[in-house]
Amino acid sequence: MSAHAVPANVPQPPAELERIPLVANNRSFGWISNQVAALCEGPAPFWWWVLFIPSACALGFLGFCLSYQISTGVGVWGNMHPVMWAWDIVNFVWWIGIGHAGTLISAILFLLRQRWRTAVNRAAEAMTIFAVMCAGIYPALHVGRMWYDWWLFPIPNSNSIWPQFRSPLMWDVFAVSTYFTVSVLFWYMGLIPDLAVMRDRAKTKLRQFLYGLGALGWTGSNRHWSNYEKAYLILAGLSTPLVLSVHSIVSLDFAVSQLPGWHTTIFPPYFVAGAVFSGFGMVLTLLIPLRSMFKLQDIITMRHIDVMCKVTLATGSIVGYAYTMEFFIAWYSGNPNERFHFMNRAIGPYNWAWLLMVIPNVVVPQVFWFKWCRKTLWFVWIVSIVVNVGMWFERFVIIVIGLHREFLPSSWGYYHPTWVDIGTYIGTFGLFFTCFLLFVRFLPMIAISEVKGVTPQSDPHHPAGGAKVEEKEPDDE
Amino acid sequence: MKTIPPTCPEPETGRKYWRSMDQLAETPEFKQWVEREFPEGASEWSDPVSRRHFVKIMSASFMLAGMGLAGSGCRRPEEKILPFSKMPENYVHGVAQFYATAMPTRCGAIPLVVKSNDGRPTKLEGNPSHPDSNGGTDRWAQASILNLYDPDRAQACTNNGKLVTEEVVADFLTGLSKSAQENGGQGLAFLLERNTSPSRLRLQKALVQKLPQAKWYVHEAIDVDAGRRAASQAFGKPVKPFYQFDAAKVIVSLDCDFIGSEEDAHNNIKGFSKGRSVEENAGALNRLYAVESLMTLTGFNSDHRLRIPCSAVAQVAAGLAAGIGGIPGVPNVGALAGVDPNWITECAKDLAKHKGQSLVVAGYRQPLAVHLLAHAMNAALGNVGKTVLFHEIPDSPEGSLTELASALTAGQVATLIILGANPVYNAAADLNWVEAQKKAKTVVRLGYYEDETSLLCHWHLPMAHYLESWGDALTSDGTLVPVQPLIAPLFGGWTEIQVLARLAGEKAITAYEVVRETFAALAGAENVEERWKKFLFDGFLPGSAAKPAEVKFNEGVLSQAAADLKPSLPSKDKLEVVFQRDYSVDDGRYSNNGWLQEMPDPVTKMVWDNAVLISRKTAQELGFKNMEVVEIKLGGKSIQGPIWVQPGQADYSLGLPLGYGRDTKLRVGRGVGFDAYPLRTTTAQNFAVGATITATGKTYTLACTQDHWSMEGRPIIREANLEQFQSKPDFAKAMKQEEPPVVEPLYANPLKRLEAGQLGTNGSPAHHQWGMSIDLNKCVGCQACMMACQSENNVPIVGKDQVRRGREMHWIRIDRYYAGSPKKTAYGDTFITEEKQQFEQWIDDPQAVTQPMLCQHCEAAPCENVCPVNATVHDQEGLNLMVYNRCVGTRYCSNNCPYKVRRFNYFDYNKRGIGKNLYWGPLRHRPEDEYDLVKMIKNPDVTVRMRGVMEKCTYCIQRIEGAKIAQKVKAGASNDVIVPTDSFTTACAQACPANAIVFGNISDPKSRVSQLKKKSRDYAVLEFLLTKPRTTYLAKVRNPNPAMPDYVDFKEGPWSLQNYETKMGNPFVEEGEKHGAEAAAPKGAE
C-alpha cells in the first residue's frame, strides 16, 4: 500500500481549464453540515414567520373555498357551457407542470451525471411533491359529485363496473398517482442520510426521536451506503420515464379529444418541454430568495443559476417552436376548423390571453442568451415569474380558447372566472408555500451528503482529500 | 321558568306613581303579571314530563339533522310509497291515464290529450284525432301545465283582503244576483276576456234577458280580433276568416306573424309547413312574402322580406291592391320612400298569377284599413272559399274597455265583475284605469293570480286552471271541444261559468251541468248521454265544424277606410314604437311561468327579459349599443328599457315586447324586464309614431342563449333555392367537409350487424334501431318542442344569472343563425367578439335559419370514450345512454361533444329553485310550498337529476321502453316483440305543429323516419367528424321569386350557401369541373 500517495508526475491543468468547483470558497464538510443543518435548528427567522402566516391564511382560505364548492356545487366556479373546464384544469395542468422540474433534476440529471444538481435537487423535489399535491386537488374536486371519485380507481365492486380504460382521465389517475408515489419515495430515500445527520445533531429528545424515526437507523456504514446508492439509482431509473409519462398523459386529456386545437399529436413532447420550462421557472423563483436568506450562496452558486437559466432558455425555445408548429400544422392540414381555431387564438376575443402566453414564454426567455441577464439575480427572478405566468396562460389558451368557439357557432361563449376560482387558486399557493416553508424549516433543504460528495476535497485524489481546512466565514455577496 | 324578581322596596317618601289602576289597587292579577317573565301559558309546560320530553325530541332531531346534513349531499332521500289498502278496480300503479280536453285561447282552442299520473296531470299533447289537428301544439299550451302547479296562484277567496270561505262568496253572488234582478241589472257591468265558450255565450244570453240593464265589456290587452271585425265589415255579416295555409301557393303577410304571435299559430304552422314540404308538393313549394317592421318568425321563414316600419305597411298593402288590379276604392298612396317599387309590383304580379291559390293576411297590429285591403285582395284574387274560408259566428255586442272606463268615470257602474282580465296592469295608459275602477262601489274579480287588479278589488275569487274546470270551446274551425278537468281544483278555484251561472240565479247548478246542457243544445237531443260520453272520450264533437259561409265583398267599405291611410313615416327624431305580443309571456299572462321565462325568445334568443329592439342603423345614428338603458318618451309618458340591436329590424322602428315588468307578488315574474304598457294609449294600441329616445347612462345585462349570429360559412344548415335543388337534388351531400379515411371499427355498428343477420332477439329477424329525421324546410322555429321536452323530461329552469353563464338545461334547443349577403361581410369579422356583431352592416337585411339541435345519438359517440367511469354508453338499439347514477361529473363528455348538447347540473336546480338560493347551497332550501307543488309536475317515468351529473336528450327513452314493454305484454309467448311502425314518438316530435321532427325505428323500412333518411336532402351535421349521428336533417329549400328585385342578391342561392361557397367552394359544380376550374381553392366538397 505504498503506491497510494499523490501521483508523482501528473501535471496540474492550466487554471482556465480547471473545473470551477461546485461548492464555492473551498468550504469544508463541517461547514456544509453546519450551514445546512443549522437552518432547521434554533428559532425561526423573522422572515419565515412573515411568509408563513399569510401562507397559512391562504391555506385556510383554500379550505373555505373547497368546502363551499363541495357543499354547494361546481357552479360556484365560473366554468360554463361550452367552457366546461376552465381554471380547474388550467391550474391542475399548471401545478403538474411545475411539479416536473424536481424529478427531472433529481432523476434524469442524476443518470446523466450532472453533478451540479446536488445543490438544488432536494428543494426541487420538495417543490414537486407539494406542486403535485396542489394539482391533485383539482381533478379530485372539479367533478360534480366528488364523493364518488373512487369510481375512477379500479376497485372491485358489487356492480362489476370498472372504470373506462379508454378515457384519458383514467390514465391521468394512474399517471399522477404513480408519479406522486415515486416522487415521494425518491425524495424520502435521499433524505435518509441527512435525517441521520439531523438526528445526530439533535439537542432535544423529541427531535432526536423524530429525526431518528425518519432516519430508519442509518449509521453511515459502508453496507448502508452501498445499498443506498443502488436503491437511489434504481429509483432514479424508475422516475425517469415517469417524468416523461406524467405530462404526456396529461396532454392526452386534450390530444385524445376531437376539438380543433386539442386534437394534435405534438402535445406530449410539447407539454413535457413546457412542464420542464415552468418547473425550472418555479425552482428559480424559489431558490433565488432562499439562497440569500439562508446564506447558501456557496452551495447554490451563480453557476447553478446560470445552468438553470440555460435550461429555461432551451425549453422555452422548444415551447416556442411548438407554438409555431401548431400554426403551421393548422395551415398545412387544410382543415378549416383547425385553421379557424388558430386564427381565433391569435386574433379572436381571447387574443389578450394568447399574447400573455406567447410573449412571456417565447420572447422573454430569449434574454437568457445574454450573460448579464443570467447573472443578474433580480432580473432572473423576475423572468422566472414571468415564465410561470406565461405557462399558466398557455394552459388557459389551450383549454379555454379551445372550448369557447368550437364546431357550432350557436354554442359559442365567453368564460369569466368567479371569486371562488381565484380564491381556490390563491389557496393552492397557500398549501404550496405552507408545505414548502415547513419543509425548509424542519428538513435539510440541501442534500448534505450529496453536496459533500461534489466538493473537491471529497475526491480521494484531491491534495486536501478529507483534510480539514481552516473555516472562514464567506463574504456575503 | 318562572323568575320572581326581588321585591322593590317602596320609597318611604316622595310622590307615588302607578302604572295602572291595577297597580294602585294591588290586584293579584297585577302582582302576578309583574312577577312573570312571560305571559301566562307561554312559560310553562302543562305536561309534567315536558322538559325531559323536549330534550329527548331535540337531541333526536339534532341527530337526524346531523345525519341529514352529512348525508344530504351524497344520498338521495328515501321516500316511502304508500300502497292502497284497497286497490281500486282497473287501476294499475305507475301506468298513466290519458284524457281528452282542450285549452281555450282567445279566438279558439287547442284540443289536447292530457297524461295523468296517479291523478296528477303531467304532460299535454295535441289531440291528433281532432279533425283540424295533427297533434301539434304551441309553446304556450305545452307550458300552461306549469301554471297549474304555480305556488303563486290565488289560493283563497278574499273580501277586502280578508279570507272568506267559498260559501260566503256563493251567498254574496246569490245576493248580488237577487238585488240585480230587482233593478234589471242597473249599474252592473261585466268585464270579460275573449274566448269561444258556447256555454259562456249561453249564460251571457240568459243573463242579458234577466238583467237587461247590465252592461257587457270585453278586454284583451292584445286584441287579435281585428281580422274578424274587418271581415264582418267587409262582407256585411258577422264572419271570421279561417285561413287554409296549406292550399296557398303564394302567401303575403302584411305585418302578420301568423307563424309566431298571431292566434292559432300552431294551425297556421301546420298548413304552412305542409305547403312547404318538398315531398308533399312535388316541387311546387309555397312562397312567402313578409312585410314587417319587427323581425318575426314569419320573417324568418319568408322567401322575400320587406323591412319597413309598421306604419308604412298600409301603403304597401294599398300598393299591392293597386298592383293586383280590379279592386275599386284603393287609395293611391304613391311610391314609398326607400322601397323598390318593383318589389310591390312583382309581388302583386306573383299574387295575380296564383288566383285562387294565394293568400294575403294582415296582422292584428294593423289598422282596419289594412285588414279590409287584405280581404279585398283575397276576394279579388278569388281566394275566398279556397285559401280563406269565412265562418259565421255570433256577433259580439260587448263594449270595449274604453267604454267601460267612461261608464265608470261617469259613475254609471256600481258593481263591476271582472272575469279574468287584468286591466290595472294592461289597460291603455290614457284610460286612467285605476281611478276609473275605484269609482265602482263593488268590484268582484275572478283572477288566476293575486295580481295588480286584485289589489284594487273588493272581492277576489281564485280562478281554476283549465285543467281543473268544466268548460267548452270552439276550435278555429268551429269544432266543439270539451274542457274537462283532470284534477279537482287544487285551491278551490272558480270558473267563469260557475260565477255567471251563480249570477244568473241558478243556485245549485254546477259548471258540469251547464256544459252538458250546452252540449245537448248543440248536438241535438237524441241519445245525449251516449254522445256526451263519446264527446268527452274523443275530445271533440265530430261534424260540428263550421260550414263556410257564402260571402260577397262589400266594395263600399274600402273607400271609407282609405281615408285612414295617412302616411306618417318615422324618422330619426320621430321614432315608431311597435308593441309586440311576446313570444314567451304573451301579454303578461305567462309572466309567472318559469319555463316560458327561460324559453329563449325564438328571434332574439333572450331569456328572462324584454328589450327595446332596434335596428343597427338606428342604434348607430342615435349612438346606442346593446344593453344600454334608454328612456323612450311618447305623448308625455316614458319608460326605460335596455337596447337590443335586432338584425332585420326596420329602421326608426322600436320593438317593445309587452308583458314584462310586473310589480306583483309573483315570485317568478316579478321585476323581470320592463313594462311597455305605460306607453300604450287607446288610439295607439299597437304602434305609434313620434317617440323620442334618450340615454340614461345606465346599462343592464341581458341574458341570451345564443350569442353568435352567423354560421361562419360552415355547412351546419344546408339550403338551396328550389331551382338549384331541382338541378342537384343531393346538394346537401355535396356540401360536406372533407372526411378522413374511414377505419373499420373494432366493434361493428349494430345496424350493420343487424343487416348481416347477427342481431335479433329470440330468432326475430329485426330489432329496434332508433333514429330521427328533422326537416329544416318544415321547421319554423316556433319552439313548441323545447317546452314539450321540458315538460316530458323534468328539465329544470336555472334562472337568468345561470343562463348568462351558459348553464341553461334545455335538452333540445333551436339554433338560429342569420346569414347576410357575403358582399357585406368581411373575412376578419369571424374573429371579433360577439358584442361587436351589432355594428356589422350585414345584419341589416339578413336571412334567418333555425335548426332544432338535440343529442344526435352518434353511433361513434365522442362523449362515450372519454368518460372515465362508463357513465355514458351505447346500447344495442343505437341509443347513446346517459347513466345518471354512474356519472361523477367530469364534464369531459360535454367538452368532446361537437354538437354541445350535453347539459350539466352545476347546482341542485330542482332542490334549490332559482336565484340566490343556488349560491347558498345547503344553507338555503326552496320554500316548502313551492317545492311541494313543483314536485307534482314531474314525470314519474324520468329521473330527476341531482347536482353534479350530466344530462342530455335520451330520445325519450321512457317512451321507447314503455312502447317495448307494452308490445312485450301484448306479444305474450308469440315473440312478436317489434313495436308497431310509428306507434309512438318522442315529446318534441309529438308537439311539433309542423311535423318537422320524425322519430322512429330506422331498421323498419316502412317507418317514416327510414323513408325520410333515404331522401336526397338527408345529411348529418358535422359528418366529417365520423360521429355517424342517428339524428339527421333534411336540407332547407327556399323558393324565391326570380322576378323580385332582391332576388339579385341571392341569385346563386341563399346567402348562407354563398357564405359557405366563399370558404368551401361551389357545391353545385361537379367534382371534375371543380378541379379544373378552381384548382387553387381549398378542397371542401366532394
Closest C-alpha to B1032, from B1010, B1050, B1004: B1010
**Is A412 in the B-facing interface, judged by CB distances under 8 Å?**
yes
**Is A318 in the B-facing interface, judged by CB distances under 8 Å?**
no
Going from the C-alpha of A384 to that of each of A294, A324, A354, B100, the distances in angstroms are 20, 22, 19, 73
- Per-residue pLDDT, B730: 87
pLDDT of residue B67 exceeding 60, the answer is no
B301: left (phi > 0), else alpha (psi -120 to 50), else beta?
alpha
Query: What is the pLDDT averaged over residues B7-23?
Result: 62
Query: What is the pLDDT averaged over residues B959-969?
Result: 90
Q: What would the grid cell of residue A340 be?
A: 379557424
Please tell me the least confidently modeled range out of B157-166, B550-559, B642-651. B550-559
Tell me how close the Cα of A343 comes to any Cα of chain B, in angstroms. 8
> What are the percentages of helix, strand and coil residues in chain A, rounded to 5?
70, 0, 30
Could you give the CA distance from residue A58 to residue A347 in angstroms, rounded to a whole number? 36
Query: What is the pLDDT averaged over residues B460-472?
Result: 91
- E strand or H helix that includes residue B215: strand B215-218
Report residue A476's pLDDT band, with 50, 70 and 90 as the boundaries.
Answer: very low
Tell me how close the Cα of B1081 comes to any Cα of chain A, in angstroms. 11
CB–CB of B191/B500 below 8 Å? no
Tens of pLDDT, residue by residue over B883-894, are: 999 999 999 999
> What one-letter code names the amino acid at A339?
R
Q: Is the CB of A410 less than 8 angstroms away from the CB of B706? A: yes
Could you give the CA distance from residue A99 to residue A114 in angstroms, rounded to a whole number? 20
pLDDT of residue B1075 exceeding 60, the answer is no
Q: Which residues contact B836 (CB under 8 A, 6 or more apart)?
A: none
Which residues of chain A are within 8 Å of residue B895 when distances are taken between CB atoms? 82, 84-85, 257, 259, 403
CB proximity under 8 Å: B 710-769 to A: 710-712, 714, 716, 737-738
pLDDT of residue B726 exceeding 50, the answer is yes
**Is B1069 in the A-facing interface, judged by CB distances under 8 Å?**
no
pLDDT of residue A93 exceeding 50, the answer is yes
pLDDT of residue B86 exceeding 70, the answer is yes
Which residues of chain B are within 8 Å of residue A347 when distances are taken between CB atoms? 828, 831
Tell me the percentage of chain B whose pLDDT exceeds 90.
Answer: 34
- Per-residue pLDDT, A348: 87
Please tell me the least confidently modeled range out of A163-177, A335-349, B317-331, B820-834. B820-834
Average pLDDT over chain B, rounded to whole?
A: 85
Which is it for strands B287-292 and B250-254: parallel, antiparallel or unpaired?
A: parallel
Could you give the CA distance from residue B947 to residue B733 in angstroms, rounded to a whole number? 41
Going from the C-alpha of B445 to that of each of A297, B211, B457, the distances in angstroms are 89, 19, 6
Could you give the CA distance from residue B56 to residue B1017 in angstroms, rounded to a whole number? 73
Could you give the CA distance from residue B903 to residue B909 in angstroms, rounded to a whole number? 12
pLDDT of residue B487 exceeding 70, the answer is yes
pLDDT of residue A236 exceeding 60, the answer is yes
- Per-residue pLDDT, A1: 43
CB–CB of A394/A319 below 8 Å? yes
pLDDT of residue B323 exceeding 70, the answer is yes
- Per-residue pLDDT, A85: 92
Could you give the CA distance from residue B979 to residue B977 in angstroms, rounded to a whole number? 6
Q: Is B76 helix (H, G, I), strand (E, B) or coil?
A: coil
Tell me how close the Cα of A54 comes to any Cα of chain B, in angstroms. 27
Could you give the CA distance from residue B426 to residue B438 in angstroms, rounded to a whole number? 16
Measured between CA atoms, the residue of chain B closest to residue A402 is B895
- Per-residue pLDDT, A403: 92
Measured between CA atoms, the residue of chain A closest to residue B870 is A164
Report residue A68's pLDDT band, with 50, 70 and 90 as the boundaries.
Answer: very high
Q: What are phi and psi of B172, to 5 degrees?
A: -60, -45
Could you give the CA distance from residue B56 to residue B813 in angstroms, rounded to a whole number? 53
pLDDT of residue B1086 exceeding 50, the answer is no
Report residue B7's pLDDT band, with 50, 70 and 90 as the boundaries.
Answer: low
Q: Is the CB of B900 less than 8 angstroms away from the CB of A406? A: yes
**Is A237 in the B-facing interface, judged by CB distances under 8 Å?**
no
Task: Pick the residue of B76, B870, B903 with the most A CBs within 10 A to test the interface with A by mutation.
Answer: B870
Could you give the CA distance from residue B366 to residue B258 in angstroms, rounded to a whole number? 13
Report residue B753's pLDDT band, with 50, 70 and 90 as the boundaries.
Answer: low
Tens of pLDDT, residue by residue over B607-642, are: 999 999 999 999 999 999 899 999 999 988 899 999
**Is A254 in the B-facing interface, judged by CB distances under 8 Å?**
no
CB–CB of B703/B800 below 8 Å? yes
Could you give the CA distance from residue B1009 to residue B990 in angstroms, rounded to a whole number? 14
pLDDT of residue B763 exceeding 50, the answer is no
Tell me the percentage of chain A whose pLDDT exceeds 90.
Answer: 50
How many helices (H) and strands (E) are present in chain A, helices listed first? 18, 0
Q: Is the CB of A84 less than 8 angstroms away from the CB of B895? A: yes
Tens of pLDDT, residue by residue over B648-682, are: 999 999 999 998 988 888 888 888 899 999 999 88
Task: Pick the residue of A72, A157, A401 with the most B CBs within 10 A to test the interface with B by mutation.
Answer: A72
Q: Is B384 helix (H, G, I), strand (E, B) or coil?
A: strand
Tens of pLDDT, residue by residue over B42-65, are: 555 555 556 677 777 777 766 665
Query: What is the pLDDT averaged over residues A202-226?
Result: 91
Tens of pLDDT, residue by residue over B436-454, are: 888 888 899 999 998 888 8
- Per-residue pLDDT, B482: 92
CB–CB of B1001/B1007 below 8 Å? yes
Q: Which residues contact A229 (CB under 8 A, 6 or more apart)?
A: none
Tens of pLDDT, residue by residue over A366-425, are: 999 999 989 898 999 999 999 999 999 999 999 999 999 999 999 998 999 999 999 999
Report residue B385's pLDDT band, with 50, 70 and 90 as the boundaries.
Answer: confident
**Is A413 in the B-facing interface, judged by CB distances under 8 Å?**
yes
Q: Which residues contact B379 (CB under 8 A, 6 or more apart)?
A: B234, B553
Tens of pLDDT, residue by residue over B108-157, are: 899 999 999 888 899 999 999 998 888 899 999 999 999 999 888 888 89
Report residue B41's pLDDT band, with 50, 70 and 90 as the boundaries.
Answer: low
pLDDT of residue A474 exceeding 70, the answer is no
CB–CB of A136/A246 below 8 Å? no
pLDDT of residue A8 exceeding 70, the answer is no
Report residue B13's pLDDT band, with 50, 70 and 90 as the boundaries.
Answer: low
CB-nearest partner of B806 from A81, A152, A409:
A81
pLDDT of residue B765 exceeding 60, the answer is no
CB–CB of B1/B45 below 8 Å? no
Q: Is the CB of A411 less than 8 angstroms away from the CB of B832? A: no
Measured between CA atoms, the residue of chain B closest to residue A408 is B899
Could you give the CA distance from residue A308 to residue A288 in angstroms, rounded to a whole number? 11
CB-nearest partner of A82 from B806, B817, B908:
B806
Residue B859 CA from chain centroid, whole number: 33
* Cβ burial, residue B942 (10 Å; 0-12/13-18/19+): middle
Query: What is the pLDDT averaged over residues B331-347?
Result: 82
Give me the half-sphere count of Cα atoms (radius 13 Å) on the Cβ side of residue B739. 17
Beta bridge partners of B126: B112
Could you give the CA distance from residue B467 to residue B887 in angstroms, rounded to a whole number? 37
Task: Pick the residue of A84, A146, A159, A415 with the most B CBs within 10 A to test the interface with B by mutation.
Answer: A84
Which residues of chain A are within 8 Å of residue B906 when distances are taken between CB atoms? 73-75, 144
**Is B806 in the A-facing interface, judged by CB distances under 8 Å?**
yes
Q: What would the grid cell of residue A346 be?
A: 391569435
Report residue A102's pLDDT band, with 50, 70 and 90 as the boundaries.
Answer: confident
pLDDT of residue A308 exceeding 60, the answer is yes
pLDDT of residue B72 exceeding 50, the answer is no
**Is B74 in the A-facing interface, judged by CB distances under 8 Å?**
yes
Query: What is the pLDDT averaged over residues A85-100?
Result: 91
Q: What are phi and psi of B639, to 5 degrees?
A: -135, 165
CB-nearest partner of B900 from A82, A85, A169:
A82
How much is the pTM?
0.86
B94: left (phi > 0), else alpha (psi -120 to 50), else beta?
left
Give me the half-sphere count of Cα atoms (radius 13 Å) on the Cβ side of residue B1065. 25
- Per-residue pLDDT, B166: 87
Q: What is the ipTM of this complex?
A: 0.89
**Is A158 in the B-facing interface, judged by CB distances under 8 Å?**
no
- Per-residue pLDDT, B71: 45
pLDDT of residue B600 exceeding 70, the answer is yes
Q: Is the CB of A80 less than 8 angstroms away from the CB of B807? A: yes
Q: Is the CB of B869 less than 8 angstroms away from the CB of A163? A: yes
